[in-house]
Structure 1
Amino acid sequence: MDIQKWDTSYEWKIVLLLTLGFGLVGLDRWIIAPLLPSIMKDLSLNYQDVGLIFGALGITWGIFSIFSGHLSDKIGHRKILLISLVIFSLASGFSGAAMGLTSLILIRALMGISEGAFCPTSFAATAVAAKPSRRGTLQGLQQSGFALFGLGLGPIIATQLMLFLPSWREVFWVVAIPGFVLVIFLFFILREPEQTQGGKLLITEKKETKQEKVNWSVILKTRNILLSMIGLFCTMSCVFVISAMVPLYLENYLKLNIQQMGFVVSAIGFGGFLGQFLVPAFSDWFGRRLSAVLSFLGSTIFIVLFANSAASISSLFILLFALSFFSLGLIALLSGPIAAESAPAGLVASSIGLVVGAGEIFGGGIAPVLSGLVAEHYGIQNIFYLSLVGTVVGMIVSLFIRETAPRKIGTLHKEKNESTETIQSHESA
């Protein structure tokens, strides 16, 4: 296949649409965070209840990421992406109709099911649309929409809409509308994997490793997939504890007002947006393993600095921006190019789904529940210890990742061939 004649028109159209799609996933998922003070007051919720709300979504997201990724490898991308986009947009709107803890948990769990189906399938769709030399960059770009819309613009949108709408309930319906518009564009543009150059190329690249019968054990025996699952759990235990609890930490512990809190929390999104784009892009040039190690190190440093910062708006924003840059960048790196490039033949979406699912169940599901328990019984200022343990363990795990970046592998192969040729020429002489 001639990689030089790449279908750049489809590549950029679908990456743009899937970036917006994953941005809406982030917006619908995280718009609830800056609204929590009002929701907790109206529905009589405590910190432990908040942890359960976030945990329910994370666990269902994780479970359905695993199965939908495997399903999309069998039936294609279109049905899963279009249907899931409609469902999570509806779930977002109906979040505003919740009358108590139980109904809110059930609605958010449904959102987790549909967003869990959308997540690995959209990553795989980007992987097969992207030219191999920029796969990491474009997968990072697609995933960066989650941070930009959900964690960056979300707090600002939520707190500003509260000034004009009667209550927090109407905010959910407003942010649900764009999802219904996007599904129309995807219906006319999105292709199935076998209709793309990248879909054919990924299978061709892995022919020599293809098994007669492919199952979950094949994926789990793949070293990088297993390490990515553990690594994603570690970085998600940072990202989702911070994203769920920091708004309450800022307002209840550091005593910021709602507008100040919204501004500081937006740093998670803006820092994460750049991180999810630049960390995978950096890995295209300097390698996946080095990028993972450095990002876990950066996350560790800035967790400590943020947890010990005074109630200075500018300092809190800068530290949270840097923390989010590294931690959300890791999500894009581990669940994107590393998972896609390490996947067995024909199992790109399945592998991504397994990585995302494991990370979501533990990092996005169980970690917020634990943080809610910690906040309720030991004080919300102690939630950062959970994140710190995750990033330190993740840094150790990432040291064992095998390099998969095409540029780095190509360089290593070239150097190896040149070395072999030199030795042979000396032996001939």
Structure 2
Amino acid sequence: MDSKKWDTSYEWKAVLLLSLGFGLVGLDRWIIAPLLPSIMKDLSLSYQDVGIIFGALGITWGIFAIIAGNFSDKIGHRKILIPSLIIFSLASGFSGAASGLVSLIFIRAIMGISEGAFCPTSFAATAVAAKPTRRGSLQGLQQSGFALFGLGLGPIIATQLLLVVPSWREVFWIVAIPGLILAVFMYFIIRDPQQTQGEPLLENQARAHTEKTKVNWTALFKTRNVLLSMLGLFCTMSCVFVISAMVPLYLENFLKISSQNMGIIVSAIGFGGFLGQFLVPALSDWIGRKITAFIGFLGSSIFIWLFANADASISTLFTYLFILSFFSLGLIALLSGPIAAESAPIGLVASSIGLVVGAGEIFGGGVAPFLSGIIAEHYGIQNIFYLSLVGTIIGMILSLFIVETAPRKVAAKLNAQTQIE
């Protein structure tokens, strides 16, 4: 189909709705963090209990990202996106009705299931709605909502709402409302892949002479970029989740920074991540996915080292953490977005994204924080950054083996080969 006649009206409506949807995923997931002091007091929870609550959500998210990605390739995006948006919004609300540890674990696990289903399906829906030459930019824009709403604005929203509502319970119900409203808009606007222009272009990119055959999910494990994206996401998740979970404790307990100043510094994760999740994939549209991934891991490695060795200066720590989050969260958007989508075997776009996201989430949401806890307990919390540094250095090496998939770069290569012939 002629790209000059691309349906930009649907493209931007879909991307806007999917961006808001993934922003609400981040908000509903992370709104609990600034409310934990009140929750722990009311429900008599320990730090170990809190770890179980977060772990339950992360594990169910990862498992169902893999399952739903494959499932949505078969039944369409709408049947996954709309119900999952309703369910995780309700789960957010019912978090405010939890009476104890068991009920809160159950509710957050349900949230993980529904958010895990929404995640890869929404990425795939953006991939088929976006014009190929701006797919990286728009997938990055969609994913950037997670960091902005969840890690940047979430703490501000939670603490401000606590000033005007009776308790933390009402906060959960308030943040549940936007998701229910958004589901109505998605019902009337979002289309299934076969009703968009993007599906045939995405499936035929770089394999125009391949005859479409019966879809085989195991083909994902034979695709170099899918495997490299999984491993690369392990590496950058070891950075993102260790930072999100442990930096507040590092700042207060090791650097002896006050809670108020700690909050200012930690907000850099959300705002830096927001810009990175948009701009890193956008940059890859122009210079290529491979070189952008390498730069992302290199930048993450440099600023992990700088942050770990910085003194207790608020401006310095904020700056280093902002840039570190820019690169590390930007890598998540790049690896799980355009690289996973463009490298997928025919008919397995959502499956490819789901496998990459699910594997990374299970590791990042479970194993990496667990390992960082062991390191902090036995070797000192100041040494947790070595886990992240090792991960980003390994990721930098892996990025050298990525096969280029950016449409501009692929087209330029094909044109050059044609001229030579």
Moved more, 369-378 or 146-155: 369-378
Aligned-pair distance for 1:274? Answer: 0.7
- How far has the Cα of 1:44 moved from its partner? 4.4
Q: How does 1:348-387 map to 2 (within 5 A)?
A: 348-387=349-388
1:65 to partner: Cα distance: 0.6
How much has 1:396 moved relative to structure 2? 1.2
- Take 1:9 and 1:275, find their aligned partners in 2: how far apart are those partners? 26
Instruction: Write the mapping of 1:6-405 to structure 2, written as runs, cut at 5 A.
Output: 6-205=6-205, 206=207, 208-210=209-211, 212-405=213-406
Give the CA deviation at 1:207.
Answer: 5.4
Which range moved further: 153-162 or 372-381? Answer: 372-381
| Inter-partner Cα distance in structure 2 for 1:136 and 1:411 | 17
- Post-superposition offset of 1:374: 3.8
Distance in 2 separating the partners of 1:180 and 1:379: 44
Question: What amino acid sits opposite 1:239 in the alignment?
Answer: V
Contact 1:155 1:263 in 2 (8 A): no
> What is the distance in 2 between the residues matched to 1:389 and 1:50?
27
Unpaired runs of 5+ residues, structure 1, are: 421-429
Q: CA deviation at 1:42?
A: 4.1
Bigger shift: residues 351-360 or 156-165: 156-165
Quote the Cα distance in structure 1 between the aligned partners of 2:102 and 2:257: 30
Query: Are the equivalent residues in 1 in contact too, given 2:136–2:281 (CA < 8 A)?
Result: yes
Q: Deviations over 1:256-306 (max 9, x none)?
A: 444433322221111011101110011011110100011011111111222
What is the CA–CA distance in structure 1 between the aligned matches of 2:376 and 2:98, rounded to whole Å? 24
Deviation at 1:141, TM superposition (A): 0.5
Query: Counterparts of 1:142 and 1:118 in 2: how far apart (Å)?
Result: 13
Distance of aligned partners of 1:59 and 1:199 in 2 relative to their CA distance in 1, 3 Å threshold: same
Q: Number of aligned pairs? A: 420
Q: What is the deviation of 1:318?
A: 1.0
CA contact (8 A) 1:129 1:198 kept: yes
Does the aligned pair in 1 maintain the 2:217–2:348 contact within 8 Å?
Answer: no
The secondary structure found in structure 2 opposite 1:209 is coil
The AA in structure 2 aligned to 1:66 is: I
Q: Return the offset for 1:210.
A: 4.8
Deviations 1:135-186 (A, max 9, x none): 0110001001111111111122223223333333332222222111111111
Q: CA deviation at 1:376?
A: 4.6
Q: Which residue of 2 aligns with 1:410?
A: 411
Distance in 1, Cα, partners of 2:114 & 2:209: 35
Percentage identity across paired residues of the two chains: 78
Name the CA shift for 1:46/1:67 in 2 (closer, same or farther; >3 Å).
Answer: same
SS of 1:208's partner is: coil
* Contact 1:65-1:120 within 8 A present in 2 as well: yes
Range that drifts further, 162-171 or 404-413: 162-171
Deviation at 1:131, TM superposition (A): 0.4
Deviations 1:202-253 (A, max 9, x none): 2344453356332222111000000001101111121112112323333444
SS at match of 1:4: helix
Residue type of the alignment partner of 1:341: E
TM-score relative to the length of structure 2: 0.94
CA contact (8 A) 1:34 1:262 kept: no
- CA distance in 2: counterparts of 1:132 and 1:76, whole angstroms: 20
TM-score (normalizing by structure 1)? 0.93
Query: What are the residue-to-residue correspondences of 1:418-429 with 2, within 5 Å?
Result: 418-420=419-421
Residue 127 of structure 1: how far off its partner (Å): 0.4
Matched letter for residue 301 of structure 1: I
Partner secondary structure for residue 321 of structure 2: helix
Q: Structure 2: any 5+ residue segments left out of the alignment?
A: none
| Inter-CA distance 19–12: structure 2 relative to 1 (3 Å threshold) | same
Q: Is the 8 A contact 1:48 1:372 kept in 2?
A: no
Cα RMSD (Å) of the superposition? 1.9
Cα pair 2:70 2:217 within 8 Å, conserved: no
